[in-house]
């Protein structure tokens, strides 16, 4: 119980700091691009439907938010909810990292945490991003459920594959881990029938770079902080005592 | 020699009782943390509730969670 309290505290603190940091990064990198894309989306939604629809019109229709649903007001309110969502994402990811530290049962510090953070970046951003790159509002995409299933499966397979490679440290688990990492990409991410976007392609490219780099900073800092705080707060309770002592 | 092996045995017995408790403690903490982490990420990134989607919209796009 004490271990869980320490673990939880370490995760909340590191998630809060990394979440607020990435909110600041999003505010100057990804969010301005999203807002710009929404102007194209709004223009596309207001335009008369084309005589022969090639899909771009559907992209706007797919992004209808439903007029009756609540949405934060533009400006400070929208930024505040983005901050809240970023912090909750930070805490959620930090809980997963700290759960991994607890399972591993070894002394953890900022440097160990940094490598776990890099693994998180690979599993949660790089691997799913290869098949489903970060996309702007108004982009044509495959059905949502199919994409969510592929995304989750890819994250799980990549995390499991990395664990087999780096924690197994034997040939057979390493080969199995590599196969597990490649498998979702052999199957392939669900794609739309026609690739189309209301925003210009150059804006889409800028967004992929901005989203990937902000995620990199997020995971790097989250890993370092969660490793540092977990090592400090969970301390001796977190270390696996079943291992034989190292001979002097 | 006899005494030493008995002492070693006693220590081993103590460890074998303490170790499963520590392991169970770590497993329980890790499972609770992972479940709660997944629950949070599901709410922020995957919930189909319109209000959740709208509140977390920019975070979902920025983190490349499948959206819309």
Q: Is the pLDDT of residue A235 over 80?
A: no
In chain B, which residues have pLDDT < 70? 1-21
Cβ contacts (< 8 Å) between A242 and chain B: which residues? Answer: 15, 19, 22-23
Instruction: Please check whether residue B36 is in contact with residue A95, taking contact to mean a CB–CB distance below 8 angstroms.
Output: yes
Residue A8 lies in a domain: yes
Cα dist from A86 to A65, A74, A215, whole Å:
21, 17, 11
Residue A57 lies in a domain: no
B51 touches chain A (CB under 8 A): yes
- How close is the nearest chain B Cα to the Cα of A62, in Å? 7
Question: To 10 degrees, what angle do helices A201-234 and A2-28 make?
Answer: 150
Between B2 and A34, the more confident residue is A34
Residue A233 lies in a domain: yes
Task: Name the residue facing A85 among B44, B50, B51 (closest C-beta).
Answer: B44
Alpha carbons within 13 A on the beta-carbon side of A111: 1
Range in A58-67, A99-108, A170-179 with the lowest mean pLDDT: A58-67
A61 touches chain B (CB under 8 A): no
pLDDT band at A219 (very low <50, low <70, confident <90, very high): very high
C-alpha A16: how far from chain center = 16
Closest Cα in chain B to A35: B58
* Domain with A224 in it: 2-48+74-139+197-238
Mean pLDDT of chain A: 89
Question: To 10 degrees, what angle do helices A2-28 and B2-45 make?
Answer: 40
Task: Name the residue facing B26 among A71, A105, A135 (closest C-beta).
Answer: A105
Residue B22: per-residue pLDDT: 83
Residues A107-158 pLDDT 10s: 899 999 999 999 999 999 999 999 999 999 999 999 999 999 999 999 999 9
Task: Name the residue facing A92 among B41, B57, B62 (closest C-beta).
Answer: B41
Residue A243: per-residue pLDDT: 55
Residue A175 lies in a domain: no
Q: Check CB contact under 8 Å for B44 and A134.
A: no
Instruction: Please check whether residue B61 is in contact with residue A136, taking contact to mean a CB–CB distance below 8 angstroms.
Output: yes
Residue A39 lies in a domain: yes
Name the residue ranges covered by the structural domains of chain B. Answer: 2-62
Residue B20: per-residue pLDDT: 65
ipTM of the prediction: 0.85
Instruction: Please check whether residue A76 is in contact with residue A192, taking contact to mean a CB–CB distance below 8 angstroms.
Output: no
Q: Is the pLDDT of residue A75 over 80?
A: yes
Cβ contacts (< 8 Å) between A128 and chain B: which residues? Answer: 64
Q: Check CB contact under 8 Å for A215 and B63.
A: yes
Residue A41: per-residue pLDDT: 86
Look at chain A and report how many structural domains it folds into.
Answer: 1
Range in A40-44, A143-147, A182-186, A233-237 with the lowest mean pLDDT: A233-237
Residue A48: per-residue pLDDT: 59
Cβ contacts (< 8 Å) between B51 and chain A: which residues? Answer: 69-71
Of the candidates A205, A39, A49, which has an alpha carbon nearest to the alpha carbon of residue A137? A39
A127-154 exposure pattern, b = at least 16 Cβ within 10 A, e = fewer: bbbebbbbbbbbbbbeeeeebbebbbeb
B31 touches chain A (CB under 8 A): yes
Q: What is the CA radius of gyration of chain B?
A: 24
Q: Using CA atoms, how far apart are residues A39 and A21, in angstroms rounded to an integer?
A: 27
Q: Is the pLDDT of residue A203 over 60?
A: yes
- Which pTM value belongs to this model? 0.85
Residue A157 lies in a domain: no
Q: Using CA atoms, how far apart are residues A202 and A143, in angstroms rounded to an integer?
A: 24
């Amino acid at each position: 119980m004490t271990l869980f309290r320490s673990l939880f505290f370490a995760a909340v603190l590191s998630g809060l700091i990394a979440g607020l940091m990435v909110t600041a990064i999003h505010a100057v990198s990804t969010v301005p691009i999203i807002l710009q894309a929404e102007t194209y989306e709004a223009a596309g939604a207001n335009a008369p439907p084309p005589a022969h629809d090639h899909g771009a019109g559907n992209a706007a229709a797919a992004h209808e938010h439903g007029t009756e649903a609540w949405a934060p007001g533009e400006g400070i309110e929208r930024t505040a909810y983005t901050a809240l969502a970023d912090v909750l994402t930070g805490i959620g990811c930090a809980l997963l990292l700290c759960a991994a530290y607890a399972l591993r049962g070894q002394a953890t510090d900022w440097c160990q945490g940094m490598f776990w953070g890099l693994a998180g970046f690979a599993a949660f951003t790089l691997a799913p991003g290869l098949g489903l790159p970060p996309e702007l509002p108004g982009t044509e995409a495959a059905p949502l459920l199919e994409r969510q299933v592929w995304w989750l499966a890819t994250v799980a397979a990549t995390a499991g594959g990395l664990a087999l490679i780096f924690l197994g440290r034997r040939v057979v688990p390493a080969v199995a881990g590599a196969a597990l990492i490649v498998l979702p990409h052999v199957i392939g991410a669900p794609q739309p029938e026609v690739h189309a976007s209301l925003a210009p392609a150059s804006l889409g490219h800028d967004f992929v770079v901005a989203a990937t780099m902000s995620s990199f900073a997020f995971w790097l800092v989250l890993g370092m902080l969660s490793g540092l705080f977990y090592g400090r707060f969970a301390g001796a309770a977190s270390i696996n005592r079943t291992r034989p002592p190292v001979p002097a | 020699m006899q005494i030493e092996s008995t002492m070693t045995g006693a220590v081993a017995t103590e460890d074998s009782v303490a170790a499963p408790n520590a392991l169970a403690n770590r497993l329980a903490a890790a499972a609770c943390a992972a479940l709660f982490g997944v629950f949070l990420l599901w709410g922020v990134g995957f919930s189909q509730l319109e209000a959740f989607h709208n509140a977390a919209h920019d975070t979902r796009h920025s983190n490349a969670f499948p959206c819309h």
